[in-house]
């Protein structure tokens, strides 16, 4: 059954089938002119893939100044999956400003970074390696990328999802609700 479903999915992608949805369309295709939607918001919150299956490998530590606003005490905790963890990340993009492109990318989760300010967790960064599968069954690995899950308003739901760096960067967005008053 799984083989049958995979075959159907491959055929749909190969044919670049469009499913009309009013004035926009939902398409399954690869195209370099597709602009990723940043962020993708799910008001009920995203489940962080792999978090429940992971354990802390580097305890919480305060990062040096230079990550986010200089006056903010940013801390991280690093998690690793207990076993090899493969999942699918859905990507959302727009083509020509009106065609919604939904594609899935099979990934290996290498690690998860939890970001907090004074114990208030506002973000998780998934460190993912792309898995490439050939029709003959051979599997290989490609580059690494990050998936960022943000709690925009402090309600404990991580409602914003977007791709980014697989690590903490100096231009990290820190929401107002965690900033010291």
Give residue-wise pLDDT tens across range 134-174: 889 898 998 999 999 999 999 999 999 999 999 998 888 88
3-state secondary structure at position 177: helix
Q: How many domains does the chain have?
A: 1
Q: What is the per-residue pLDDT across 58-92, written as a single tens digit (0 to 9) for each?
A: 999 999 887 777 778 899 999 999 999 999 998 88
Q: Convert the pLDDT of each residue in 2-45 to its tens digit.
A: 333 333 333 333 333 232 222 223 333 344 567 777 888 999 99
For the whole model, what pTM was predicted?
A: 0.76
Do residues 124 and 48 make contact, with C-beta atoms less than 8 angstroms apart?
A: yes
Domain span at 98: 2-178
| Nearest CA among 40, 149, 166, 152 for reference residue 103 | 40
Q: Exposure of 92 by Cβ count < 10 A (0-12 exposed, 13-18 middle, 19+ buried)?
A: middle
Cis preceding linkage at 120, omega within 30: no
């Amino acid at each position: 059954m799984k083989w049958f479903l995979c075959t159907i999915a491959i055929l749909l992608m190969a044919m670049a089938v469009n499913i009309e949805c009013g004035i926009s369309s939902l398409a399954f295709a690869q195209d370099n002119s597709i602009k990723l939607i940043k962020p993708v918001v799910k008001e009920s919150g995203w489940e962080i893939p792999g978090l429940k299956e992971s354990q802390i490998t580097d305890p919480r530590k305060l990062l040096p100044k230079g990550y986010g606003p200089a006056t903010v005490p940013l801390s991280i905790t690093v998690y690793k999956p207990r076993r090899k963890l493969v999942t699918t990340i859905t990507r959302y993009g727009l083509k020509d400003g009106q065609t919604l492109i939904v594609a899935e990318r099979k990934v290996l989760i290498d690690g998860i970074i939890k970001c907090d300010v004074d114990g208030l967790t506002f973000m998780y960064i998934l460190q993912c390696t792309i898995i490439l599968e050939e029709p003959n069954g051979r599997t290989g690995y490609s580059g690494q990328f990050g998936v960022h899950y943000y709690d925009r308003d402090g309600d404990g739901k991580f409602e914003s999802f977007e791709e980014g760096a697989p690590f903490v960067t100096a231009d990290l967005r820190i929401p107002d609700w965690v900033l010291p008053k």
